[in-house]
Structure 1
Amino acid sequence: MKLMLMSLLLLSLPLSAADDVQKQIQEVEVALSMLQQEQQNLFQQFQMLQELRRQELLQENSIIVQQNQPPVTGNATLNYDEVQKRERERLARIKDYTARLSEIHERYQEIDRERQVLIGELAALRQDKSPDREEMN
């Protein structure tokens, strides 16, 4: 009777270990999926900010072209101080966009490193679960 219980216990161990490995694989796949989604969101933010920055830089080029003409909004000519204020604001936006682009890029790279670690873990878990490995147990 004891021998029978021991053999049943030993037979159930590999199944339990296989279930644990499968659960770990699923957890790593979920984490990997979440990181990929975050990376995709960051990429979209990056593209939008890059376009906003590009538009601000193009605005600078149009100001240079119009240098010989007085700045006008509607029917009123802007004074020098107002033009300088708008230019400072535009430069501040460009600087802000550049800083945010840099932060997003750094976070994207950080997530990519995390993804590589998870991909390695997933490969190791799948290798541990492979049929050749299970036959050894």
Structure 2
Amino acid sequence: MRRLIYTLLLIPLSFAVAADDGAELEKLYSALNMLSQQQQAVYQQFQMVQATRRGNFPPLYGMPIPAQPNGQIVNYDEMVAARKNAILREESLFQQADQLLARYNEIEEMKKPLQSRIYDLTLNNGND
């Protein structure tokens, strides 16, 4: 008889645990979704930086000095400054791409414990 009473007392407790697990799962999925959205935004930024890097820069080395429309030769100092600015811009875009890739990977690492906990809760709920 004691066992029956003890078992009957544990039934509401198991429902409370299941409800807590359900609430935790909901929060975990919400957090995982938020991180996935952040990761997608970072990836889109990365793609834009990569496209800019590929599309806007002709080869800088060995470029002939272009003639001006009026036939005058370009000022050497202006040409050197323009090339230097192009190189600096390319390096800046390269750094941006590296930072975005690092952030993408950082978010991926943040997702792993959430995914693991979701797996654990899902596995335990299936066994109850």
TM over 0.5: yes
The one of 84, 89, 103 equivalent to 1:93 is 89
Looking at secondary structure, tell me which structure has more helix per residue. 1
Which sections of structure 1, spanning at least 5 residues, go unmatched? none
Contact kept, 8 Å, 1:56 with 1:94, in 2: the verdict is no
Distance of 2:65 and 2:25 partners within structure 1: 66
**Residue aligning to 2:119:** 123
CA deviation profile, 1:38-81 (whole Å, cap 9, x unmatched): 111111101110111112432537x72xx1543x3x65843111
Verify: 1:104 aligned to 2:103, yes or no: no
CA contact (8 A) 1:49 1:101 kept: yes
Asked whether the equivalents of residues 53 and 97 of structure 1 are also in contact (C-alpha less than 8 Å), the reply is yes
Name the counterpart of 1:32.
32
The aligned runs of 1:44-63 (5 Å cut-off) are 44-58=44-58, 60=60
CA drift of 1:30 comes to 0.6
TM superposition score normalised by structure 1: 0.78
- TM-score under structure 2 length normalisation: 0.83
Q: Output the amino acid matched with 1:100.
A: Q
Structure 1 residue identity aligned to 2:35: L
CA distance in structure 1 between the aligned counterparts of 2:34 and 2:103, rounded to whole angstroms: 14
1:128 to partner: Cα distance = 1.8
In 2, distance between residues paired with 1:98 and 1:68?
26
Does residue 113 (structure 1) correspond to residue 109 (structure 2)? The answer is yes
CA RMSD of aligned residues (A): 2.5
SS of alignment partner, residue 60 of structure 1: coil
Q: Which amino acid aligns with 1:125?
A: L
**Runs of 5+ in structure 2 lacking a partner?**
none
Q: Matched residues in 1 for 2:119 and 2:101: separation? A: 27
- TM-aligned CA distance change 1:102 to 1:76, over 3 Å: farther
